[in-house]
Structure 1
Amino acid sequence: MPAQAIYRRLPRFPDEFVWGVATSAFQIEGAPTLDGKGPSIWDTFCRQPGAIADGSNGDVACEHVRRWQEDLDLIKDLGVDAYRFSVSWPRVRPGGSGAWNAKGLDFYEQLVDGLLARDIKPYLTLNHWDLPDELQQQGGWASRDTVHRFVEYAQGITQRLGDRLASITTHNEPWVIAVLGYETGIFAPGIKDRATAMQATHHLMLSHGLAVQALRAEGHATPLGIVLNLSPMHAATDAPQDLEKTRLEDGRLLRWYMDPLFKGAYPDDVVAYLGDDAPTVQSGDMAAISTPMDFLGVNYYSRSVISAQGPWDVNSSGREITDMGWEVYPEGLTELLVRMHRDYPVPPLYVTENGGAFKDHLQDGRVHDHQRRDFIARHISAVADAMEQGVHMAGYMVWSLLDNFEWASGFEKRFGIVHVDYTTQCRTLKDSALWYRDFLRAQKAARQNRGPAPTMVLSNQHNAVAAAPVQD
């Protein structure tokens, strides 16, 4: 153990606290045309020259469609309570509207039943970015018609699977879909127009609210919510221009989504900033968007430091940097969760994604990813800190179960706690997975014995590697 290690006894998390792992359909499934699946915007985007860093695509990915039983056994072995996964919209309804694909629906029914048979709770996401390409040809999320097609899709999936699901998330990270997909164009569908992006944002939020209303009207009792990617915004200096820009960027990332969900309006300062690029909002839209939810998911990876002079040099922080170029900043998760609890009437919160990409190496059948292990441990500690300050936390899920297709980065970045050999498709539990399994076993033992949780070793150095449960 490092000479400067410190000990901390984390609380015994509540019995109902949910521990999980997460994936998304396009990143792991492969089988892009199997059994009648239609193309998604990501299938199309991957064919654009230069769109993906390594020139790859999701045609094979992790072959999860063929290896799903093996993957569910891995999840079972980890001892988690829940698996967060997404449905591929074009696999179950290839054109986004019209006929449903029975074989695609059968696949997800088998997946859900397989999870339940292994005593794992299914946490389903309806939209993790893979919009049917046919809908994109009709305007995609910039078209109000897509709102209604999404509601139909939500109804169809819930009618088929809702009685067996632990929760349903409407959208994963609408900011990413709209801004990276329609404004900067670095993600599918590759459009570069701010006004289009802002209209897409509004339609995503509207489709969320209308879907929640429709499912409730049909009598479905499955918990419903949405997942946002959020970060605390810190000014690089106390200079007025840095503070002003930080406030604006906070508005564009956090308040642009949280305000309509919980206050029924977009923030005035961001609307003014957008000017003619602000979205068209029809009567009744904001009331729909602010329909009460059962939970809110938060995806957290790092903070953002804002400078009016241009991009901030992340290396200047002196902290560890992930393979994505993101600063490791676990205390930002506590700050974010406490701020949401303080500023908004939020329902129970989940950390629905949290993890780090690091350069892993499989050696002698092991992957010694101490950086990822430490990352996860420190962020679990950050969740505990938020709970101690009164935040109602419902669960924590590691991103990601498997190394997978990392969007525009292709296969160059690895987030998984399970290593995937993309040539053989062999799965290997990394040290982070073994640590997570041991941590969960210790938590469950503490629950059963009604005793305290084990002490965790955490170094007080930012680049620490020690993070493991130990005996007192």
Structure 2
Amino acid sequence: MKIEEQPFIWAVGIENTFVTQIERGERPLDEYDLTQHYQFWKEDLDRARESGASMIRYGIPWHLVEKEENIFDWSWVDGVMDYFKNHRELVPIIDLMHYGTPHWLKNEFANGKYPDYVARYAKEFAKRYGHFIKYYTPLNEPYVNAEFCGLNAVWPPYLEGLSGFYSLMTQLGKGIINTVNEIQAVISDARFVHVDATKKYFSYDPRLQEEVKLWNENRFVMWELVQGRISEFHPLYDFMLEYGVSPDTLTWFQNNQITIDIIGLNYYPQFSVHEVKRDKKGYIIYPHILGGGEELKEIVEEVHKRYQRPIFITETSFRGSEEERLKWLDECYDTCLQIQKDDIPLLGLTWFPFFDLVDWEYRTSGKSIEEELLPFGLYTLTMKDGVLQREKNRVGYKFEKLAKKRRESNC
């Protein structure tokens, strides 16, 4: 049964950011390593099944699978995929790309052959596991990827500014399209969940409304690109050309457009809503403003109006106390019910991350893993004698109660 035909889906996801290049003196950010998931993956997946979740977003460490160019080592992945094969009640949506690239790929996403290399890796995965793995995210959060790697020069290849942002976004977009095509050539019934971060911009300053309009359009750039929508009549067309994208590149996307199966929205109350304003020096800034269910509903309605495709909340959670997370879980679920009552095909929600994660700042902070643990999860991580203990917290128990109640009601 396709997930579009199922009752409301409760899902979880294990944080799987992989940024392991250390040429500039940073520490490798491999969340599976830092949270000891490589060691305790089976126990973690057992907990995910026990949570009441019927789906899980699960990432593949490309940097370990293909340590040498075109030589693939699936030994660790084999064990995990066998688990999914033997436990069909927990269906994985495979995150093929979650930021990091192999070390042999010089210039990372800026490498001209990146779109071909990532698609080759995806095809190898599909050939090996595609007889039972049907759901894929070609690349998680292109917007954040291009932001960290191309706009703000935080991660390799350390590009900067809007020219860097769009250069990376077009590279990532080509990789997404090539990945979809290569997997479909192997798995005719593959389904793709195209996941990106949600953004909502607003301003109290009437002089900044054009800026708000621009960024509220730019938040959709990945979905617009891969569907070949950005032509000379598109509101982003001239803006992208101004920052270095060639007309030929946008024509390539028009000629190689793909159809989106499912839209995945990652919404975080603390990170998804931005106020556009000027600082004391007159510069335009975009600080985060705490959002809630109302903003999530508005975003879902806008996405559905634009694309008319099934929607999945593929990430949501709240960084904070158990009380704050419990409050958001209830609010988010209530919002999802309201959205469904409006006949919008919202498939379900994903609590992400399943257990606490290590802050991305770990790469440069010099702090210990324990000091960098962030309280997001249904399970709390606590270091004891060098081992990160997993303890189900009150949010985990509430998630399990809601998921099982909804599943039993079959509505």
Using structure 1 for the length normalisation, give the TM-score. Answer: 0.76
2:179 counterpart of 1:211: yes
Structure 2 letter corresponding to 1:94? K
Aligned match for 2:263, one of 281, 296, 299: 296
1:388–1:65 Cα change, 3 Å: same
Match of residue 247 from structure 1: 213
Unaligned 5+ runs, structure 2: 364-371
Matched residue of 2:285: which SS?
Answer: coil
Contact 1:297 1:350 in 2 (8 A): yes
Distance (whole Å) between structure 1 residues aligned to residue 228 and residue 20 of structure 2: 37
For 1:353, the aligned partner's letter is: E
Aligned to 1:260: 225
Q: In structure 2, give the amino acid aligned to 1:272.
A: D
Structure 1 unaligned segments of length 5 or more: list them.
1-12, 27-39, 315-325, 361-368, 451-472
Residues 402, 418 of structure 1: 8 Å contact kept: yes
Q: 1:78 to 1:242 in 2, by over 3 A?
A: same
**Aligned equivalents of 2:287, 2:146: Cα separation in 1:** 26
1:62 aligned to which of 17, 22, 35: 35
Per the alignment, residue 359 of structure 2 pairs with 406
Match of 2:11 among 13, 20, 27: 20
Matched residue, 2:239? 273
Provide closer, same or farther for how the CA distance between residues 419 and 292 of structure 1 changes in structure 2, counting only shifts above 3 A.
Answer: same
> What letter is aligned with 1:300?
Y
Question: Which of 370, 376, 385 is 1:415 aligned to?
Answer: 376
Counterparts in 2 of 1:10-409, with a 5 A limit? 15-26=6-17, 42-45=19-22, 48-49=24-25, 58=31, 60-95=33-68, 97-113=69-85, 115-116=87-88, 119-135=89-105, 137=106, 139-237=107-205, 239=206, 241-254=207-220, 256-262=221-227, 264-265=229-230, 268-280=234-246, 281-282=248-249, 285-287=252-254, 290-301=257-268, 302-309=272-279, 310-311=284-285, 327-345=290-308, 347-358=309-320, 360=321, 369-408=322-361
- How far apart, in 1, do the equivalents of 2:32 and 2:65 lie? 17
- Closer, same or farther: CA 430–189 of 1 in aligned 2, 3 Å: farther
Partner residue of 2:396 out of 404, 410, 433: 433
Contact kept in structure 1, 2:227 and 2:253, CA below 8 Å: no
Contact kept in structure 2, 1:245 and 1:308, CA below 8 Å: no
Q: SS at 2:21's partner residue? A: helix
Report the Cα offset of residue 276 of structure 1: 4.3
1:283-321 deviation line (CA, Å, top 9, x unaligned): 86213653112211111113222224543666xxxxxxx
Aligned partners of 1:111 and 1:287: how far apart in 2? Answer: 40
Residues 288 and 152 (structure 1), Cα distance of their counterparts in 2 relative to 1, 3 Å cut: farther
Change (3 A) 1:111 1:338: same
Q: How much does 1:17 deviate?
A: 2.4
Given that 1:68 and 1:111 are in contact with CA atoms closer than 8 Å, whether structure 2 keeps it comes out as no
Conserved 8 A contact 1:183-1:197: yes
The alignment's C-alpha RMSD in Å is: 2.7
Larger mean Cα displacement after TM superposition, 429-438 or 263-272: 263-272
Q: Secondary structure at the match of 2:95?
A: strand
8 A contact 1:231–1:332 mirrored in 2: no
Of 332-341 and 195-204, deviating more is 195-204
Larger-Rg structure: 1
Structure 1 counterpart of 2:140, which letter? N
In structure 1, what is the equivalent of residue 367 of structure 2? none
Deviation at residue 270 of structure 1 after TM alignment:
3.2
Percent sequence identity over aligned pairs = 15
Shift of 1:80: 0.9
In the superposition, relative to structure 1, how do residues 114 and 327 fare at CA in structure 2: closer, same or farther (>3 Å)?
Answer: farther
Task: Measure the CA separation in 2 of the matches of 1:421 and 1:114.
Answer: 30
Aligned residue identity for 1:374:
K
| Cα distance, 1:59–1:384 mapped onto 2, change above 3 Å | closer
Amino acid at match of 1:192: E
**CA displacement, residues 16-44 of structure 1 (integer Å, 9 cap, x when unaligned):** 32210012334xxxxxxxxxxxxx6x222
Write the distance in 1 (CA, Å) between the matches of 2:188 and 2:175: 17
Contact kept? 1:245, 1:307, Cα under 8 Å: no
Deviates more, 1:406-415 or 1:153-162: 406-415
In 2, the alpha carbon distance for the partners of 1:67 and 1:395 equals: 27
Q: Distance in 2 between matches of 1:232 and 1:313?
A: 11
Give the Cα–Cα distance (whole angstroms) in 2 for the partners of residues 145 and 313 of structure 1: 35
Measured at CA, do residues 98 and 375 of structure 1 come closer, stay the same or move farther in structure 2, by a change above 3 Å? same
Counterpart code for 1:415: F
C-alpha distance in 2 between matches for 1:217 and 1:313: 43
- Report the count of equivalent residues: 389
Quick one: distance in 2 between partners of 1:279 and 1:413? 37
TM-score by length of 2: 0.86
Over 3 Å counting, the alpha-carbon distance change for 1:377 and 1:211 in structure 2 is: same
